[in-house]
Amino acid sequence: MGELILEMKNITKTFGSVTANKDVSLQLYAGEIHALLGENGAGKSTLMNVLTGIYKPDGGEIYYKGKKVSIRSPKQAVNMGIGMVHQHFRLIPTLSVAENVYLYSEDRKFMLNQKKMEDMIRECSERFNLSVDASAKVWQLSVGEQQRVEIIKLLYRGAEILILDEPSAVLTPQEAEQMFKTLRKMADAGKAVIVISHKMNEVMNNANRITVLKDGMVEDTMLAKDATVERLTKAVVGDRQLEEIKPKEGKVSDECVLQMEAVTAMDDKGIPALKDFSVTVHKGEIFGIAGVAGNGQRELGEVIAGLRPAVSGKLILEGVDVTKASIRTRISKGISFIPEDRLHTGLVPGLNLKENVILKEFKGNKYCRRGLLNFSAIEKAAERFVSKYEIKNGGLDLPVSLMSGGNQQKLLIAREVDGRPALIIAAYPVRGLDIGAAETIREILLEESKNGTAVILISEELEEIFKMCDRVGVLCNGELMGVRGIHETDLNEIGKLMSGERNEVKAHA
Amino acid sequence: MHKFRVQKRTEVSMTRKILNPIVFVLFALVFCGIFLAVLKFNPLEVYGKMLEEIFSVRGVQKSVVAGLPLMFTGLAVAFGYRMNLNNIGADGQYAMGSILCIWFALYGPDMPAVPKLIIMFVLAAAGGAFISLLAAIPRAFWNVSETILTMMLNYIVLLFLNFLMYGPWKEEGQMVAQTARTDERYWLPDIGNTGINSIVIIAVIMAVAIYFFHKKTSKGYQMEVIRRGPAAAKYAGMNVKANIIFVLGISGAIAGLAGFAQVGGIIHRVQADLPNGAGYTGIVIAYLAGLNPLVVLIVGFLFGALQISAVAVQITGVPSQIATMIQGSIMLFVIAGEFFKRYKITRQNSQPSLPEKATEDPKKEIPVQEGGAE
């Protein structure tokens, strides 16, 4: 490892009564990949936001290249050489790669010399193995390529420290491997890389050192080669007991709940995103949808829930054709939907817990009487949800945006499983949640399927799919690559299907 | 080196909510005082006159009269904005409401006062709703900006109003462009001997009803969801189009009632340019009231007071332009002062201490630039 490039000393940051970081110290050396591990709400993002000048720390000092600095804005951080790749990319889709890099660069001239810019990007991408077509428009690029553009932006600005927030979350295993190779190259070139991550294996395999944050404090710092799963788990989770969920035992009824026949749907740009999709889901079954995010999963969920029209094909729910049915009809027929964007689609962040309970029952007899809201019924339901699913909240009258992600999701799921739906579509139900909350939510879904509800589980974690599902279908480019019984397949085969390699055996949907 | 930072306040206390506008009214008075002094008026004397006017019985009565149309337009704008719909057209809706109302009052059949007034009321609301629906339907179905549509409709309706006032409906033998007065039978009575017309009761009922509507009804809840989480509203299967038409329709109807207030309770006739910008002032009122219908009534009344006090200072010899300036300044300062209700400015003394390299020239170190960007 090289010289000490950055030192954060006793960083403390509070938001009101919440302490997000307490006395956090972190050393970063040139040439290392440093992983920041921890549950949601452990303070990883806050710490990095302090480092990139988005937040001002309440206490503590930052030394950069041996000098004490105070970083007041992301712009200043970038000028100093500290850059961050956020989880949601900050790119302008309609502009080309070169134009995006240009926009971010400091020495913008009045005119853009497209050719020169592209040459420089090419040079940079060759040097670090960041292959990307400089003249392509960003919207044409895959997620992995867009991520590379983000990295190029930072390199072009002369970043010495690169921070990546959950960089592998949007990638296939193969792409993730490639990305870490690139990061290693950059580290070898003397840069320091910080990777925020959830995934222990990934961190152990790719980092030099690992710092674990828990409850806003540094729980453990270690060399990656000294790390074991046990040690990391203990540091991340603490002494909390985790119940292992048991693999689901196959006992699925033959009764068919949902039948999709050659359904095609468009994405927001009007390009087919789900193509000739056919599948049958049975009562009590958990049907997994595997695949890299952005391969038609969103459209699949929305087509079933009725948020997106099917341009062709048929959707049959319990024998009734619902292809053209309205969202309200589908809800009343028992289709529940846990959307990907839980905070803005599944919930209304500015409204309180009670108001979110009635989101889908804003009329009808459950919570209304003659157009007036029935507050006692609403309050009762809210209390029932809170106690049954142990939803931690600051009060039923506080906006749900103040609750943690895990509790938001519990609330959403409590509402969706209430009244025993026929079908639940769960899109990435545990994405971004801490281990404890994730387990709870998986258990709720398993419980519901035992009670006879059919569940479609869209997930990017194959481990989760293998643990929970009876069958798994793989989506790639909007096409169903194949359907496998969970006991008849393995990670390897699913991984291949995810990357678009279709086997000789035809899908039997 | 001193640096200032703007920070959002986490909580706004009640005291601050009340005190903040008062402080900024004072600032505005100081500001205008400079102008008054330059013009050789004694600012204290002028302001004294203003206060005297406001805090008299007559002043309160006049403030209510001046504030009533503003209350209705304020309620109308606030109602629309509760679903993020910008109704800039309360002026036009008010005008249309008054046109239909005076038409029935003057040219409609002779009938007892109660049914006559009820029909006048309904027609005023319908007139306002009609105009706003002309904007609501394109907004709901083709996503045409309601801001532009409602505003453009203002011009059309106001020109139509003035055509009627200067033309066919002009009172015979008069110089002023206005209609004849309605029959005294169709005048809403005052409340007891307070000198305040009972139309105020209608405004209060309206505000309370809207308040209740927002808090307690399923429709009000839907409005809130559509405003705060449009994606969630779609997800829950709410009919956003129908809600847009409903909300803009009601908003227009409330604005139209300002016309009923004038014809039924205040001047009992319609004049050219009757709305006189009440629709636009309504936007300010709705904003300052934080969209709360009950607060709209209070702010509307205060704006009425502001208007009549500005007129009062003209008695002291201050030119009417200055009176208008005082009125405008107070409005401007109070609105600008809203910023300080939501944000605070803190001072930082810390010396920035960047590493030299970074401050000097960050570009030097960019490896990829060696190729020759310069």
Per-residue pLDDT tens digits for B146-163: 999 999 999 999 999 999
Q: Contacts of residue B369 in chain A, CB cutoff 8 Å? A: 120, 156, 158
Nearest to A344 among B224, B229, B363 (CB): B229
Order of all β-strands in the sheet with A479-485: A335-338, A423-427, A454-458, A286-290, A471-476, A479-485
Q: A190, A193, A161, A221: which is closest to A3 by C-alpha?
A: A190
- For A14, A41, B10, B163, B363, the CA distances from A58, given in Å and listed in that order, are 7, 18, 16, 66, 31
Measured on CA atoms in the order B57, B62, B65, B69, is the torsion positive or negative? negative
- Give the number of other Cβ atoms within 10 Å of residue A37's Cβ: 27
Q: Residue B31: which region, alpha, beta or left (left: phi > 0; alpha: psi -120 to 50)? A: alpha
Q: Is the pLDDT score of B240 beyond 80?
A: yes
Q: Do A306 and B352 touch (CB under 8 A)?
A: no
Scan residues 8-37 of B and list those with Cβ closer than 8 Å to A.
10
Q: Contacts of residue A156 in chain B, CB cutoff 8 Å? A: 366, 368-369
- Whole-model pTM: value is 0.75
Whether the predicted interface score ipTM is above 0.85: no
The confidence band for B212, taking pLDDT boundaries of 50, 70 and 90, is very high
Q: Tell me the H-state helices in chain B.
A: 14-38, 43-54, 57-81, 90-107, 113-142, 146-166, 199-216, 218-228, 230-235, 240-260, 278-288, 293-313, 320-342, 356-360
Q: Do A371 and B217 touch (CB under 8 A)?
A: yes
CATH assignment, A241-334+421-509: 3.40.50.300
Q: Contacts of residue B371 in chain A, CB cutoff 8 Å? A: 119-120, 123
Nearest to B216 among A123, A345, A373 (CB): A373
State how far residue A188 is from chain B, nearest Cα, in angstroms: 14
Compute the distance between CA of residue A316 and CA of residue A297 in angstroms, rounded to an integer.
19
Amino acid in position B160: F
- With contact defined as beta carbons under 8 Å apart, do B267 and B65 qualify? no
Compute the distance between CA of residue A238 and CA of residue A352 in angstroms, rounded to an integer.
31
Question: Structure tokens of A386?
Answer: 């809170």
- Which of B218, B356, B374 is the best mutation test for A, with the most CBs of A within 10 A? B218
Q: Is B184 near chain A, with CB under 8 Å?
A: no
Q: Is B367 near chain A, with CB under 8 Å?
A: yes
Q: B372, B365, B364: which is closest to A119 by C-alpha?
A: B372
Compute the distance between CA of residue B160 and CA of residue B275 in angstroms, rounded to an integer.
13
- With contact defined as beta carbons under 8 Å apart, do A281 and A287 qualify? yes
Nearest to B235 among A70, A339, A358 (CB): A339
State how far residue A346 is from chain B, nearest Cα, in angstroms: 6
Q: Is A344 near chain B, with CB under 8 Å?
A: yes
Please give the tally of structural domains in chain B: 1
Q: Is residue B322 part of a domain?
A: no
Q: Do A70 and B350 touch (CB under 8 A)?
A: yes
Question: Which residue has 């889901």 as its token pair?
Answer: A281
Q: Do B235 and A307 touch (CB under 8 A)?
A: yes
Q: At A373, is the secondary structure helix, strand, or coil?
A: strand
- With contact defined as beta carbons under 8 Å apart, do A402 and A374 qualify? no
Q: Contacts of residue A79 in chain B, CB cutoff 8 Å? A: 358, 362
The average confidence (pLDDT) of chain B is: 87
Q: Is B368 near chain A, with CB under 8 Å?
A: yes
Q: Is residue B274 part of a domain?
A: yes
State how far residue B244 is from chain A, nearest Cα, in angstroms: 17
Question: Structure tokens of A35?
Answer: 């992983």
Compute the distance between CA of residue B146 and CA of residue B141 in angstroms, rounded to an integer.
11
Q: A452, A458, A427: which is closest to A338 by C-alpha?
A: A427
Write the DSSP string, A355-419.
HHHTTT-SSSTTTEETTEE-HHHHHHHHHHHHHHTT---S-TTSBGGGS-HHHHHHHHHHHHHTT
- With contact defined as beta carbons under 8 Å apart, do A68 and A62 qualify? yes
Task: Determine the topology of domain A4-237 in CATH.
Answer: Rossmann fold (3.40.50)
- Which of B5, B226, B354 is the best mutation test for A, with the most CBs of A within 10 A? B354
Q: Is residue B317 part of a domain?
A: no
Q: Is residue B11 part of a domain?
A: no
Compute the distance between CA of residue A412 and CA of residue A385 in angstroms, rounded to an integer.
10
How much of chain B, in percent, has pLDDT values that exceed 90? Answer: 63
Q: Is residue B320 part of a domain?
A: no
Q: Do B219 and A67 touch (CB under 8 A)?
A: no
Measured on CA atoms in the order A361, A364, A370, A376, is the torsion positive or negative? negative
Q: Is residue B327 part of a domain?
A: no
- Which of A18, A123, A156, A362 is the best mutation test for B, with the most CBs of B within 10 A? A362
Q: Contacts of residue B357 in chain A, CB cutoff 8 Å? A: 65
Q: Contacts of residue B82 in chain A, CB cutoff 8 Å? A: none
| pLDDT (0 to 100) of residue A502 | 66
| pLDDT (0 to 100) of residue B364 | 37
- With contact defined as beta carbons under 8 Å apart, do B278 and B98 qualify? no
Residue A77 has, within 13 A of its CA and on its CB side, a CA count of: 22
Between A495 and B198, name the one with better pLDDT.
B198
Q: A406, A413, A382: which is closest to A395 by C-alpha?
A: A382
Distance of CA A153 to the CA centre of its chain: 23
Q: Do A372 and B216 touch (CB under 8 A)?
A: yes
Residue A241 has, within 13 A of its CA and on its CB side, a CA count of: 1
Scan residues 209-228 of B and list those with Cβ closer than 8 Å to A.
216-219, 221-222, 224-225, 228
Q: Contacts of residue A373 in chain B, CB cutoff 8 Å? A: 216-218, 221
State how far residue A464 is from chain B, nearest Cα, in angstroms: 26
Cα–Cα–Cα angle for A147, A151, A157, rounded to 5 degrees: 145
Per DSSP, what are the bridge partners of residue B217? Answer: A372
Compute the distance between CA of residue A154 and CA of residue A157 in angstroms, rounded to an integer.
5
Q: Is B236 near chain A, with CB under 8 Å?
A: yes
Q: Is B366 near chain A, with CB under 8 Å?
A: yes
Distance of CA A144 to the CA centre of its chain: 15
Distance of CA A76 to the CA centre of its chain: 29
Longest dimension (CA), chain A: 72
Q: Is A306 near chain B, with CB under 8 Å?
A: yes
DSSP label of B186 = G
Q: Is B238 near chain A, with CB under 8 Å?
A: yes
Q: Do B221 and A328 touch (CB under 8 A)?
A: no
Q: A37, A474, A382: which is closest to A220 by C-alpha?
A: A37
Q: Is A67 near chain B, with CB under 8 Å?
A: yes
Q: Is A75 near chain B, with CB under 8 Å?
A: no
Q: Contacts of residue A344 in chain B, CB cutoff 8 Å? A: 229, 231-232
Q: Is residue B129 part of a domain?
A: yes
Amino acid in position B239: N
Q: A330, A299, A315, A288: which is closest to A454 by C-alpha?
A: A288
Q: B193, B168, B176, B209: which is closest to B294 by C-alpha?
A: B209
Amino acid in position A473: G
Domain boundaries, chain A: 4-237, 241-334+421-509, 347-402+409-419
Scan residues 4-43 of A and list those with Cβ closer than 8 Å to B.
16
Q: Is B6 near chain A, with CB under 8 Å?
A: no
- Which of B234, B366, B370 is the best mutation test for A, with the most CBs of A within 10 A? B366
Q: Do A327 and B234 touch (CB under 8 A)?
A: yes
Could you list the residue range(s) of the whole structural domain that residue B110 is in?
A: 67-306
Amino acid in position B120: M
Compute the distance between CA of residue A437 and CA of residue A442 in angstroms, rounded to an integer.
9
Between B374 and B270, name the one with better pLDDT.
B270
Q: Do A123 and B368 touch (CB under 8 A)?
A: yes
Q: Is B371 near chain A, with CB under 8 Å?
A: yes
Q: Is the pLDDT score of B282 beyond 80?
A: yes
Q: Do A157 and B217 touch (CB under 8 A)?
A: no
Q: Do A350 and B222 touch (CB under 8 A)?
A: no
Give the number of residues written for chain A: 509
Ranges of chain A with pLDDT below 50: 242, 504-509
Q: Is the pLDDT score of B350 beyond 60?
A: no
Q: Is residue B248 part of a domain?
A: yes
Give the contacts of B328 (CB within 8 A, at least 6 positions apart): none
Per DSSP, what are the bridge partners of residue A28? Answer: A6
Convert the pLDDT of each residue in A102-138 to its tens digit: 888 876 666 777 788 888 888 888 888 888 888 889 9
Compute the distance between CA of residue B20 and CA of residue A260 in angstroms, rounded to an integer.
60
Scan residues 368-397 of A and list those with Cβ closer than 8 Å to B.
368, 371-373
State how far residue B33 is from chain A, nearest Cα, in angstroms: 41
Angle between helices B199-216 and B293-313 (to 10 degrees): 150
Q: At A161, is the secondary structure helix, strand, or coil?
A: strand
Convert the pLDDT of each residue in B109-119 to its tens digit: 999 999 999 99
